Amino acid sequence: MLKDTEKMIDQATSEDYRFLFVERSGNKKTGIMSQTYTATCNGRDGSCPHCPFKDHGCYAENFMVNENWKKVPLSGKNIQQLREAIEGSKKKTDYLRHNIAGDLAVEGTSQINKALLEELTDIYSKNFKAAYSYTHCEINKRNLKLVKAAADKNFVINFSTENTETAKKVIQAGCNAVIACNTISNKVVKKDGLTIVQCPATIDPEKNHCSTCGLCWQKDRKVVVAFPVHGCRKNAAKKAGFLTDL
């Protein structure tokens, strides 16, 4: 990293981020659960510039999620307003899914915004039993350290991967990994030294929900959770060619 870029990342704040807080969602996949969306003032995808799914089947491009997300840059809450909304909520649930859409990156980079993550961790640790999310930020020492510190306070962030080699790197570093795939041959797969478990909500969404599962907010999880591509944009993701079969 160039010194100017390092300085910019180190000095990044949460000021330019905006949030939508959903007190109690009935989303079919998550079940009854509090949720957030994140964007920056410059655009809805400002917080996730390097995600491989961008324009290639991102589930946030699905209609309803997209409709909610595109409102966030102009009408979303700032970090203090998010704190106040959560603290004042009488309908919030015990667990929170952070970022139905959005990520934690310093705008224009693949590095986690330290100030943003620390503020979110403080808010969530005081108001929920646990919060969880996913990130496509770079898997490096800096980001791994930040994610571990958040997990210690029950904000569990899963590194999103697209192959077993990358997922294994995350697990060996002591963090949580999930893997997006074209297909998975069984509910539990042993591959490349990993135990990979298919997300229960993708097996039977009528019976299984994030709110009753808890795998993704389980700290120090040794299994990798697999998400076969789904939603109305799944064919775009498959066509992009970066996903594998498990």
Give the DSSP letter string of 182-225.
Answer: SB-SSSEEEETTEEEEE-HHHH-TTT--HHHH-GGG-TT--SEE
- Tell me the three state secondary structure of residue 162: coil
pLDDT digits (tens, 9 = 90+) for 120-157: 999 999 999 999 999 999 999 999 999 999 999 999 99
- The alpha carbons of the chain give a radius of gyration, in whole angstroms, of 17
What is the predicted pLDDT for the residue at 44?
Answer: 66
Bridge partners of residue 77, in order along the sequence: 19
pLDDT digits (tens, 9 = 90+) for 207-237: 899 999 999 999 989 999 999 886 555 565 5
What is the predicted pLDDT for the residue at 10?
Answer: 84
Residue 20 amino acid letter: L
pLDDT digits (tens, 9 = 90+) for 89-110: 999 999 999 999 999 999 989 9
pTM to 2 decimal places: 0.92
- Tell me the three state secondary structure of residue 128: coil
What is the predicted pLDDT for the residue at 38?
Answer: 95
Mean pLDDT of 21-32: 90
CB 135 within 8 A of CB 112: yes
Label residue 29 by pLDDT band (50, 70, 90).
confident
Nearest CA to 107 out of 45, 200, 156 is that of 45
